[in-house]
């Protein structure tokens, strides 16, 4: 939606789980905006800095100068901080009776933006944060979204930044397990992140030559996994590597949840015990966890993040608001935010990568 007007001041925030490349987006957006003669404000920890005024004794909003974004392209995390519990439409609050409830403080955010005369917000986040950004846009806040998540599950963009770094970390970890698994003739089950999708597991499992890859898009059966392990045994390959996306589930069964919040966890341990029982083979687990999100972004993610940051500023300059920057082919485009967030991107079962894996003899446990 084009709403071109004179821009003087913009703000940037990061929300949801962090991903390698956030700082590169912040740097590129800041330098591009400063280059346009604009002022740039950083909001700490999602919208918290705006609502609370202070975060951990620091001003909740602070100027992003050229100095403030020096030397951060290669740094993991986010200099702005982030939160997965910062939805202004439903913030958790303790009620007078001691129980917990939620409150809607979105109106205060719009009000603060007006008071501070901020012309646009660049909101960097995954689907949760971009849904919030879209709702704020519909209530009058000028927003441009930047898609971030290691899970790569956002529909409108071919790739999100952070994904390739996570794949690299996971590929290295799986690769390292081959020698120890072989020495001990064990089965190793590696649990990877990805939430409701299997992108990280598929790409790293294929790149690191896993024997079995389990993804949420393809329900597995323990019998099929055991069959693959025993087939390998029969031809003298007495070890196997099973890569499991955390959200994978058995046919007709439930995924493995860490707690009642809906967070995934515990899949590797569950599968390992079942494989041990079905095959009689010693089976060990590795839950790779947040190491997939930590540390420096690889060059691909730095490039993508820098391009996204600069493109977001171009959108603001063009009055192209209520949009999200997206990579399509090799072009960065602006797509309507509401189209970008209405559905997650799952691994297509007829994709070239799935076919390639099957043709290499990799089992999906189906």
Q: Which two tokens stand for residue 278?
A: 């079905």
- Site for ligand F6P contains 17 (CB under 6 A): yes
Burial 109-145 (b: 16+ CB within 10 A, else e): beebbeeeebbbbbbbbbbbbbbbbbbbbeeebbbbb
| Residue 277 CB partners (closer than 8 Å, separation 6+) | none
- Site for ligand F6P contains 77 (CB under 6 A): no
- Site for ligand F6P contains 84 (CB under 6 A): yes
Nearest alpha-carbon partner for 44 in 14, 9, 2 = 14
Q: Which of 32, 87, 149, 152 binds ligand F6P (CB under 6 A)?
A: 149
Q: Which stretch binds ligand F6P (CB under 6 A): 134-142, 146-154, 224-232, 338-346?
A: 146-154
- Site for ligand F6P contains 126 (CB under 6 A): yes
Q: Which of 293, 302, 363, 364 binds ligand F6P (CB under 6 A)?
A: 293
- Site for ligand F6P contains 150 (CB under 6 A): yes
Shortest approach of ligand F6P to residue 255 CB, angstroms?
A: 11
Identify whether 259 is a catalytic site residue.
no
Q: Which is nearer to ligand F6P, 163 or 220 (CB)?
A: 163
Q: How many CB atoms lie within 10 A of CB 360?
A: 11
Q: Which two tokens stand for residue 319?
A: 């009055």
- Site for ligand F6P contains 127 (CB under 6 A): no
Shortest approach of ligand F6P to residue 110 CB, angstroms?
A: 27
Shortest approach of ligand F6P to residue 86 CB, angstroms?
A: 12
Q: Which two tokens stand for residue 24?
A: 């590169």
d(CA 196, CA 198): 7
d(CA 287, CA 265): 9
- Site for ligand F6P contains 264 (CB under 6 A): yes
Residue tagged 């994709």 (tokens) = 351
Q: Under the rule (CB under 6 A), what is the footprint of ligand F6P?
A: 17, 84, 126, 149-151, 193-195, 246, 264, 293
Annotated catalytic sites, by residue?
Answer: 151
């Amino acid at each position: 939606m084009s709403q071109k007007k004179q821009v003087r001041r913009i703000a940037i925030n990061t929300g949801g789980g962090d991903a390698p490349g956030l700082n590169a987006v912040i740097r590129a957006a800041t330098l591009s905006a400063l280059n346009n003669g604009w002022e740039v404000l950083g909001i700490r920890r999602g919208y918290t800095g705006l609502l609370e005024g202070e975060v951990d004794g620091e001003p909740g909003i602070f100027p992003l100068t050229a100095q403030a974004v020096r030397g951060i392209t290669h740094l993991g995390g986010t200099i702005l901080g982030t939160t997965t519990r910062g939805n202004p439409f439903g913030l958790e609050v303790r009620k007078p009776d001691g129980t917990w409830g939620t409150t809607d403080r979105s109106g205060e955010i719009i009000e603060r933006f007006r008071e501070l005369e901020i012309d646009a917000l660049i909101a960097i986040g995954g689907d949760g944060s971009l849904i919030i950004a879209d709702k704020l846009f519909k209530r009058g806040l000028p927003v441009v979204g930047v898609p971030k998540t290691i899970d790569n599950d956002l529909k409108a963009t071919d790739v999100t930044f952070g994904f390739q770094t996570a794949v690299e970390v996971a590929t290295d970890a799986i690769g390292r397990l081959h020698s120890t698994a072989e020495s001990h003739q064990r089965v190793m089950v590696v649990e990877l992140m990805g939430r409701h999708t299997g992108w990280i597991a598929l790409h790293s499992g294929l790149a690191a030559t896993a024997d079995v890859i389990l993804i949420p898009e393809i329900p597995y059966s323990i019998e099929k996994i055991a069959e693959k392990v025993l087939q390998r045994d029969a031809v003298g390959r007495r070890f196997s590597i099973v890569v499991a996306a955390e959200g994978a589930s058995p046919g007709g069964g439930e995924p493995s949840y860490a707690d009642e919040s809906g967070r995934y966890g515990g899949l590797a341990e569950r599968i390992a015990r079942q494989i041990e029982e079905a095959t009689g083979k010693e089976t060990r687990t590795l839950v790779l966890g947040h190491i997939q999100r930590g540390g420096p972004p690889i060059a691909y993610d730095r490039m993508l993040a820098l391009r996204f940051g600069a493109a977001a500023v171009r959108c603001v300059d063009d009055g192209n608001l209520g949009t999200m920057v997206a990579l399509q082919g090799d072009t960065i485009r602006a797509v309507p935010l509401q189209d970008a967030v209405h559905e997650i991107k799952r691994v297509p079962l007829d994709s070239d990568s799935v076919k390639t894996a099957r043709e290499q003899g990799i089992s999906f446990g189906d």
